[in-house]
Amino acid sequence: MMYAVLCYNSEETVFSWTKDEDDAVMAKLQTVHDRWEKAGKLKPSLRLLPTTAATTLHKARDLVVDGPYAETKEQLLGFYIVDVDDLDEGLKFTRELAAVNPGGAYELRPVMLYYPGAPVEKTGPQ
C-alpha cells in the first residue's frame, strides 16, 4: 500500500526558525528518511513554501486567486508535481486538467525542496 503522508504545522512558526534551527530539524529528519529510503519504502518527499506563496485556480469560474485554497467544503483528493517555467505555465497545466475534470479547485504551491527518494516500482495499490 502506498500512503501520501501530509505534513501539518504552523507555517508562522516553522518559517520563523533560524537557519541553525531549521538545519537541526532537517538533519534529524534526514536520518529517518535515509533509513526508509534504504529500505526502498520512502518515495518522493517534498517541502512546500508557505501559503503566502500559493495561487489558487477555482475551476467553476476559471478564477485565479492569490493565496491558498481556504474552503473547508472540499477535501484534498490528490496532487501533482509539475516542473514548469513559471506560474503561468503551471496555471496552463491546471486549466487543461480543469477542462476535463470540473469541480473544486487546484492550489499551486511552490516546492521548496524535492527529494526523489527510492525508485518507484509500482504506480498504485495492487
Q: Which residues bind other proteins (CB under 8 A)?
A: 10, 12-13, 15-16, 18-19, 22, 49-53, 55, 64-67, 86-88, 110, 112-113
Of the candidates 25, 26, 6, the one whose C-alpha atom is nearest the C-alpha of residue 113 is 26
Hey, is 6 helix, strand or coil? coil
| Least distance in angstroms from the C-beta of 22 to other proteins | 8
Select 65 or 118, whichever has its Cβ closest to other proteins. 65
Amino acid letter, residue 15: F
Strand-strand pairing, 105-108 and 55-58: antiparallel
| 67 within 8 A of 51, measured Cβ to Cβ | yes
Select 55 or 94, whichever has its Cβ closest to other proteins. 55
Select 13 or 126, whichever has its Cβ closest to other proteins. 13
